[in-house]
């Protein structure tokens, strides 16, 4: 039986990034180099202390979320993890 819809998303209510600056988690497309790295570092620092990191990461990997930092991983890191995943 599939879980109720709210069960799929309840973990987001405990997300440490709620209310955080979205620029950290979704750096503008034209952001490159040290500026982008700093934004990603700041977002990941929030993620490492998040009580729902695992749920968030699993969701992003399962749905192949193409943008932003989820579960402490950038979109590029998730794509690499997906590429090398053993099926």
User: Binding residues for ligand SF4, per CB under 6 A?
Assistant: 15-17, 46-47, 50, 52-53, 56, 69-72
CB of 11 to ligand SF4, least distance (A): 7
CB of 35 to ligand SF4, least distance (A): 20
Identity of the residue, 31 or 65, whose beta carbon is nearer to ligand SF4 in the bound complex: 65
Alpha helices per DSSP H over 3-74:
5-9, 22-25, 33-48, 53-62
CB of 1 to ligand SF4, least distance (A): 26
What gap in Å lies between CA 26 and CA 36, rounded to an integer? 10
Q: Could you tell me which of 79, 76, 14, 80 has the C-alpha nearest to residue 47?
A: 14
Handedness of CA 23, 26, 31, 37 (dihedral sign): positive
Identity of the residue, 30 or 49, whose beta carbon is nearer to ligand SF4 in the bound complex: 49
């Amino acid at each position: 039986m599939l879980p109720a819809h709210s069960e799929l998303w309840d973990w987001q209510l405990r997300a440490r990034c709620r209310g955080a600056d979205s620029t950290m988690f979704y750096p503008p497309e034209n952001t490159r180099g040290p500026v982008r790295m700093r934004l990603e570092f700041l977002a990941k620092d929030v993620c490492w202390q998040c009580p729902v990191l695992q749920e968030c990461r699993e969701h992003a990997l399962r749905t192949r979320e193409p943008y932003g930092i989820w579960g402490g991983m950038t979109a590029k890191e998730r794509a690499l993890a997906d590429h090398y995943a053993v099926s």
